[in-house]
Each structure stands twice: as C-alpha cells, then as structure tokens.
Amino acid sequence: MSLAGSSVAPHLVFLRRCGFCRIPRLLTAPKKPARKGGAPRPTLAHQLHALYCTFALAVTTVYLVQECVYAYQERHDMDKLARVMFLLLCHVTSISKQLVFYVEADKIHEMVAAFDLAEYNQRRGAAQLRDTARSARRLLRAYSGTAVLTCTLWIIFPVLYYVQGLPVEFPFWTHLDHTRPLVFVLLLMYSYYVTTLVGIANTTMDAFIGTVLYQCKTQLRILRINFETLMERAQDKVNEDPSVPYDVVLSKLFLECLHHYEQISKTNKRLQDIFGTAILVQFGIGGWILCMAAYKLISLNVLSIEFASMTLFITCILTELFLYCYYGNEVTVESDRVLQSLYGMEWLRAPAPLKRSLVLVMERAKRPLRPAAGLIIPLSLNTFVTILKSSYTFYAVLRQTK
C-alpha cells in the first residue's frame, strides 16, 4: 500500500465492517463477464456484503422513523422534544452520508485509488506523507472513541433509573411495554446497537472526508516545495548525468509538477462531486443539532452522567463541523500559496520557453482550489463561525419561547 493511500485505507476498512460502505464492484467482480456483452456478475462476497449494507441502512432508517414518530407524539412537550431532536437530526445527516458511501462506492474507490499514483507518493515528500497518515489514524481513533464513550454513557442512566424503580422512557417510539425486564433489556440493547453503530460510522465518515482534504493539503505543500526547488533539482540531475541537456531535464520536471497539480485538482473535484450534497446537509442541520443539544444540556445536573454524555456529544458535533471547515480552509490556503511558490523559483535563469509556460501556470494558480459544500458554502473557518452564530441564535429563540 502506498504512503498516501495508507492515510484513508483504515477508514474504508472500518466503514465496510460497519456496513456503511459497499465494496466496489471493481474489487469483487471476476475478470470475465458472466455472458458475452453482459456486465460482470457480482461474486458471493460482494452479494453478502451488499446484503449486510442493506441491513445496516434498514436498521438506521427504521430507528429514524421511530424517532420521528416519538417527536410527533411529544411535539407539545419541549423537554422531551429536545431530547429526541438532536439525535434525530444527527441520524438524518448520518444516513445522508451513508447513502453516498453505498451508492457512490465505485467513485469513492476511484478517488482513493488515485492516491497510489506516483505523483502522490514522491520520495521527497515521504516524511510529510507518513506524518499525514499517522495524524489521520490518531484522528480516527480519538474521534470514534469519543462517539463510543458517549453512546456507552447514554445506556448507563436508563439502567440506573430502572434499578431504582424510576420511570424510564426511550427517545424513540415503540409499542412494547418496557417495564418488563426482558423487554427493557432488548430495547436497551437495540438502542445501544443503533446509536453506537451510527456514532462510530458517522465519525469515521467525517474523518474520511477530512483526511482526503488533509491529503490534498499535504500534496499541495509537496508541490510547492517541488516548484521552489525546480532549478536545483534539474541541476542535480544534470550533474549526475551530463549527457542529458539541462533544458530537457528542466522541462520534464516542470511537466511532472503540472501533472501533480492536475491530480490534486481532480481529487478535490471528485470529493466535491461525491460528498458536496451530504456536507451541505450537514451544514444545514448542524446548527440545529447544536441548538437542541445545548437546550437539553442546560436542564441537566452538572455532576450527572447524562451531562457528561451530552457534553461529549456536543464535542463530537463541533469536531465534525470543524473538520470540514478547517481542512477545507487549509486546502484553499495551500492552493493560494502555489502562486507564491511559482514566483519564488529562480525563474530568471530559466529558458524562454519555460518562462512562457510559467506565465500560463501562474494565471491558473490565481484561481486556488476552494472546496465547497454543494458548490454553495465554502469549507472555511468563516463558515464554521457562521454555523456557531446561527446555532446560538436558534438556541436564544427557543429559550425565549419556552
């Protein structure tokens, strides 16, 4: 596995195990089609995994419907409504991304496969690629671990209430009598399974998208270094092999940089085409999730387990929104600096044909890569601040209308 590809490989493995990402047909289909002129027949492994993914989608969808029914029944009780709404909205954003990973599995595979190209795994940037992969793995473990801890805390206080003989109400509709021990245990395990599955998979999907943006940032940084040291690298190659003309070596290295920049642009466009709508949904609902979670948080005892779990949940949502905005902003900043790196190279010593090509490339570099949600909302730190402000506005309105 390449250094660049190793940064996102753990995410895809984890999502496939959770049933949130379908195995692409390119990995499971036989080399020859089942019949002449027909499409390749899926293997048994592909069929079983597709069935497992369908089951995971069905379970999360049914749970979402149960939450919607409960929210409708308790629409006049603001406390109970706030208890279910932040989870309901979170599950909506999760399912929107889950559908993308299921439907667009082949396109996602093509995007990730590009990380194995030579342009993405240059020897000069090996140290930066290793750092990126390590950071991506740490982010995945910490982020998904926080989600598991949050969901685990959520099942503690219902158990405590039930043992103490206090009334317990699950935040989803069910026609079963959960005062009976067996039914209570089954509902508790069902709720824990779905919320934990959604929590782990949702954080992993967010970490995957953030890591792809992080990889684009790292590649842009390597590209900038290659542009800045273009003349020195060409001279070193000529010193190693004097039989090769300097102009030929310089042109070859310059074209390699252009191909690298083209691949980065393609990856950014693929990411935006695949996940742009899902991220737009996340941004549109994220403020409401924070608002409902904060509304519920203020009614809890600071020393209670439920308060700790809600705090961790809000931390996860803030991290989710921050990942998109921070790494998207970093891609834009690094892309904007490419123009400076082009001008910073010792272009005065370059031959005339390269100077003319350099002018054209600099004109292209004036339009930096700007990742956006649905081609509308830029992934930037300003967007993150705007979402926080909107969330506080929603919260203030709810507090006044209570």
Provide the 10 A C-beta neighbour count for residue 270.
18
Burial 342-353 (b: 16+ CB within 10 A, else e): beebebeebeee
Evaluate if residue 1 carries a pLDDT over 80.
no
Helical spans, DSSP H, in 155-180: 156-163
Residue matched to tokens 């190659």: 237
DSSP 165: T
Here the contacts of 127-133 (C-beta below 8 Å, separation 24 or greater) are 128/218, 128/221, 128/222, 129/3, 129/4, 129/7, 129/218, 130/3, 131/218, 132/4, 132/7, 132/214, 132/215, 132/218, 133/3, 133/6, 133/7
Q: What is the pLDDT of residues 160-198, one digit of tens each?
A: 888 888 888 888 998 888 888 899 999 999 999 999 999
Question: Cβ distance 276 to 372 under 8 Å?
Answer: yes
Provide the residue type at 389 as one letter: K
What backbone torsions phi and psi does residue 25 show, to the nearest 5 degrees? -65, -25
Q: Residue 218's pLDDT band (boundaries 50, 70, 90)?
A: very high
Residue matched to tokens 């909205």: 89
Residue matched to tokens 């979670």: 293
Q: What is the pLDDT of residues 333-347, one digit of tens each?
A: 999 999 889 888 877
Q: What is the pLDDT of residues 125-158, one digit of tens each?
A: 899 999 999 999 999 999 999 999 988 888 888 8
Residue matched to tokens 């790494």: 327
Range with the lowest mean pLDDT among 4-18, 105-119, 215-229, 351-365?
Answer: 351-365
Provide the residue type at 293 as one letter: A
What backbone torsions phi and psi does residue 225 show, to the nearest 5 degrees? -65, -40
Question: Cβ distance 83 to 220 under 8 Å?
Answer: no
Q: What is the pLDDT of residues 262-304, one digit of tens each?
A: 999 999 999 999 999 999 999 989 888 888 888 888 877 887 7
Question: Cβ distance 93 to 203 under 8 Å?
Answer: no
Per-residue pLDDT at 39? 54
Question: Cβ distance 131 to 3 under 8 Å?
Answer: no
Residue matched to tokens 């506005």: 393
Please give the tally of structural domains in the chain: 1
Per-residue pLDDT at 157? 82
Burial 120-149 (b: 16+ CB within 10 A, else e): bbbeebeebbeebbeebbebbeebbebbee
The boundaries of the domain holding residue 184 are 5-401
DSSP string, 176-231: S-TTSHHHHHHHHHHHHHHHHHHHHHHHHHHHHHHHHHHHHHHHHHHHHHHHHTHH
Per-residue pLDDT at 26? 59
Give dist(CA 122, CA 3) in Å, integer: 9
Give dist(CA 90, CA 53) in Å, integer: 19
Q: What is the pLDDT of residues 10-56, one digit of tens each?
A: 999 999 999 999 888 655 544 445 555 555 566 787 889 889 999 99
Evaluate if residue 101 carries a pLDDT over 90.
yes
Give the rounded percent of residues in the chain with a pLDDT score beyond 90.
50
